[in-house]
Structure 1
Amino acid sequence: MCISKKELEKKVQELRSLKALKEETEDGIEAVEREIISYMKENETDTEITDTGRITYKEQSRTTLDKKKLTEILGDDLKPFEKTTNYMVLRVK
């Protein structure tokens, strides 16, 4: 598909508009999530059942490796333990 420079400019404007809409939507989502969290805290519950679903607000944990401490133990050569993922990135400024 080959488009003209004018069509490209329209696509860039459309992209900017959609990104602005996305940001507004994400802000709205965060505001509603804060209200739900507030409800859960006020009612001192970690689980709530509604007519349309089940809501939980619970602590969860994640374990990661401390690269600095690992370097202290194994030295600077951490290459055998590294995993690299390559992907394409589109940036429009």
Structure 2
Amino acid sequence: MNSEFVATFFGEALMIIVSMVCVLIIPSLLVGLVVSIFQAATQINEQTLSFLPRLLMTFAMLGFAGPWLLRTLSDLFSRLFLNIPHLIG
């Protein structure tokens, strides 16, 4: 039971981490793509132009999805701490 629980919990934690990273990174990548297309269309070759919109999008997603991210992490760790006695004994 211990190794099965650990493997299941690790897989679940990995999926939670991947979903959290995707929530933060994918919108930033899409904004970077739009800015790159704009740069290619207008022939503006400024390397730092895409940095600020991507940064602002990442902060916006942190503000928008922050409560969900914190709630998901706290649920994961509370389940882990509640199951520690079952793993030891």
TM-score tier, shorter chain, comes to 0.3 to 0.5
* Greater relative contact order (Cα < 8 A, sep 6+): 2
Which structure shows the higher strand fraction?
1
TM-score when scaled to structure 2?
0.39
Which structure shows the higher helix fraction?
2
TM-score when scaled to structure 1?
0.38
